Amino acid sequence: MLMTIREKIQTLKDRYDQRRKDREDRRIILEPFVDRLNEIRQAPRVTKNDFFCTSCHRDVTGLSFKQVSAVRPMLPTAWFISKCPLGHRVIRRITDKNTDPYYDFSLMVSRSRYDMRDDFLDPSDPRFQILYPKQYAELMKHHERGGKK
């Protein structure tokens, strides 16, 4: 069967679009994997780090080494490993940083969170009115104006 020029061009266009779509799909599937690989690659092999020893129940700082696991090939994981002064194994995550238990355990982290608590104060918190009387008054004025319409 003969194709007109227009049909031929359309076929080529469709093929091109399909390839582009396939490439994009593949990129979306591979993106988390590539992100993890980059995270792992960018982490230094040896570096000083803050840790929390769950056995000694205290914060420690020390030289640590990068370890990589590819047990799940599409989900490579990495972490820094070190030892507390008493020889307990301590780790910090390189991948999945946001779920690193360090942030839940570390006394140093909770202390700095405590120090910053006033910076994250919600205006509905009673302490807000005491710490920022001027801002509170302004907010209330603004609130009243908005309420009237």
CB of 57 or CB of 134, closer to Zn ion = 57
From candidates 30, 74, 86, 137, binder to Zn ion by CB under 5 A:
86
Minimum CB–partner distance for residue 53 and Zn ion (Å): 3
CB of 36 or CB of 102, closer to Zn ion = 102
Distance of CA 147 to the CA centre of its chain: 38
Q: Indicate whether 83 belongs to the interface with Zn ion (CB under 5 A).
A: no
Determine contact, residues 122/135, Cβ cutoff 8 Å. no
**Sites for Zn ion among residues 88-127 (CB under 5 A):** 88
From candidates 84, 94, 102, 106, binder to Zn ion by CB under 5 A:
84
The tokens for 2 are 């003969």
**Sites for Zn ion among residues 21-80 (CB under 5 A):** 53, 55-56
Distances (CA, A) of 52 to 99, 113, 123: 15, 16, 34
* Burial class of residue 81, CB neighbours in 10 A (0-12, 13-18, 19+): middle
Return residues touching Zn ion (CB under 5 A).
53, 55-56, 84, 86, 88
